[in-house]
Amino acid sequence: MEGTLNMLGMGIAGLGAAIAIGMIFAAYINGVARQPEAQRVLQPIAILGFALAEAVFVLAIVFAFVL
């Protein structure tokens, strides 16, 4: 049962990361659609948000297999 709960936690973390990435890029697309000249400013912020959301999921994978 212990391993099953670890994998359940990893699945929930994966779902959270997917939702976060979707919200990040939805906000990016919305911002660029409203102000196309702000693309240069918004793109690095969106990529940084994507990387941080993926890092949280990678940590969840590590913790699921370690614990």
Q: What number of residues does the chain have?
A: 67
> pLDDT tens digits for 7-49?
888 888 889 899 999 999 999 999 999 999 999 999 999 999 9
CA 25 to chain centre: 10
The whole-model pTM stands at: 0.80
Q: Residue 1: what pLDDT?
A: 53
Whether 31 and 42 have beta carbons less than 8 Å apart is answered as yes
Q: Residue 6: what pLDDT?
A: 78
Higher-confidence residue: 14 or 3? 14
Mapped onto helix, strand or coil, the DSSP state of residue 67 is: coil
Helix (H) or strand (E) holding 51: helix 39-66
